[in-house]
Structure 1
Amino acid sequence: MTSTIAQRPTAVGTSRQSHVVADAFTMLRRNLLHIVRYPGLSMFTILGPVVILLLVVFVFGGTLGAGLPGVGPAAGRDAYLAYVMPGILLITIAGTASGAAITVSMDMTEGITARFRTMAISRGAVLAGHVLGNTIQAVIAVALVLGVGLAVGFRPAAGPIEWIAAAGLIVFIAFAVSWIGVAMGMQSKTVETASNLPMILTLLPLLGSGFVPTQSMPAWLQWFAQYQPFTPFIETIRGLLLGTPLGWNPTLALCWCVLITAVGYAWSMAIYERKSVR
């Protein structure tokens, strides 16, 4: 793979941008092959949210669902499944950041990234390959977890337009989170650190409206839960799939996606550039 890139001639009249795109797709192919050859990490990304879903719904769902506004004890479990499913989907996306961080850290510690820096490859394309590969993996994981949710009784009320909007937002969130995961992987000095650092992202749906309404939290935690990025993410997906009020959540969700992507990209490139001059 790398020798192919190194030996690629530069065609006369070919724009630099076209080379960046070609390099990005070459690196994407490499990362997709890595996912296929090492399926254990992908399986863990999927099984974790599935276990959480089954646990909270079938063990705690009856009690927690009965405490939701306007829900009686008889419909508690079904109501809670509908309520918690968007949060489970966001936990799935957050969990894929660990995969991105681990693969980037492995490339860094094994010297593969250092070799890429000496070759005629766009620096942004090296990182973009990781991001695009992880985004695809995240979308597949979300689809599989959603399938489990449907199998155990989740019944969205969304129409075709709402499904398309929800899918688009999920892809955008996965893309943004992947950039943060790549940055964390580059920042980490060991693979072990890279596997643990993104775990903070998986806590954010728990500390938002993923599992309980933010109004039920203490005042100090309620403030954080309402203004952190995963709450508008969850509320937008919930509104699109279940028909709950959207309010300003879609706008906030998109703004957070743009901000997270920009921060992750700038952080990753700064580290890459700094290590390239050593």
Structure 2
Amino acid sequence: MSTRSHSAVMLRRNFKHVARNPTSVFNAVLMPIVMMVMFVYMLGDAFSVGVDYVDYATPGLMLMAVCYGLGAVATAVNSDLTKGIINRFKVMDVSRGAVLTGHVVASVLTNLIAIAALVAVAFLLGFSPSAGLFDWLGVVGLVVLLGLAAGWFTVALGLAAKSPETAGLASVPLVMLPFFSSAIVPAEKMGPGLREFAEYQPFTPVIETLRGLLAGAPSAGDAIAAVAWCVGIALVGYLWARAKFSKRA
């Protein structure tokens, strides 16, 4: 079988594992919807952001939807490694790249499903984007790029961890980081120190680019920064993952 065929087999395997794990499904798909209902429906009137809060919050919650499933990815990768499953694949002459790529692509597909469900709920809560066709294509493209970046970095974290439990914990900072961005409230409304951190951390330009695309008025500066961050994180994650895989597998 070719590397592409191996990758397809690994993708099918990993996606089935996610679908059969209720905790993974809840964290990846249902938890973002719970956050949407909590922030928009329950707390939305408490925030003053200049626009309908559902329109402001949806891009940030889309990014959160990418992050919430990362713990399961790190745990799954580490379990494959520590339980000897990857060594079995090596005996079967399965491509090394296919093993890692299967986890990453499965996480991206899960992200797309989660975000589609999230956006559907957002429309029920009054979401009214001004995005045109090309804006929506830009949203999808950026979400996929972000998913690949987060996926490769999380796979590397999973390979670097010593156990599935520590692998899951290693992804917690990535889950928490969106809360210290412009996802929930504008960075300029935050206190000193936190405001500067929110402005210059990698998730804020991604959120602002999504926000601009959905409003039909994307910012070139935010878009360039968002793509640069995603490509940089993806490259670091990929190289780190390959190095750890070669060392430990």
Give the letter for the 1:28 counterpart. Answer: L
Q: Using the TM superposition, give the Cα deviation of residue 244 of structure 1 relative to its aligned residue in structure 2, in angstroms.
A: 4.7
Match of 1:34 among 9, 14, 17: 17
Aligned to 1:272: 245
In the aligned structure 2, how far is the partner of 1:126 from the partner of 1:202? 24
Runs of 4+ in 1 over 4 A off after TM superposition: none
2:235 matches 1:262: yes
Q: Using the TM superposition, give the Cα deviation of residue 189 of structure 1 relative to its aligned residue in structure 2, in angstroms.
A: 1.6
2:23 matches 1:50: no
Aligned to 1:144: 117
Superposed counterparts of 1:1-278, under 5 Å? 19-64=2-47, 67-69=48-50, 79-244=52-217, 246-276=219-249
Give the letter for the 1:35 counterpart. Answer: V
Q: Using the TM superposition, give the Cα deviation of residue 80 of structure 1 relative to its aligned residue in structure 2, in angstroms.
A: 1.1
Percent pairwise identity: 38
Q: Using the TM superposition, give the Cα deviation of residue 37 of structure 1 relative to its aligned residue in structure 2, in angstroms.
A: 2.8
In the aligned structure 2, how far is the partner of 1:85 from the partner of 1:176? 21
Count of residue correspondences:
249
Contact 2:78 2:159 in 1 (8 A): yes
Q: Using the TM superposition, give the Cα deviation of residue 153 of structure 1 relative to its aligned residue in structure 2, in angstroms.
A: 1.2
Give the letter for the 1:183 counterpart. Answer: A
Contact 1:100 1:181 in 2 (8 A): yes
In the aligned structure 2, how far is the partner of 1:37 from the partner of 1:81? 32
TM-score (norm 1): 0.84
CA root-mean-square deviation:
1.6
In the aligned structure 2, how far is the partner of 1:29 from the partner of 1:113? 16
- For structure 1, the 5+ residue unaligned runs are 1-7, 9-18, 72-78
- For structure 2, the 5+ residue unaligned runs are none
In the aligned structure 1, how far is the partner of 2:20 from the partner of 2:46? 42
In the aligned structure 1, how far is the partner of 2:186 from the partner of 2:93? 51
**Structure whose CA Rg is larger:** 1
In the aligned structure 1, how far is the partner of 2:68 from the partner of 2:145? 15
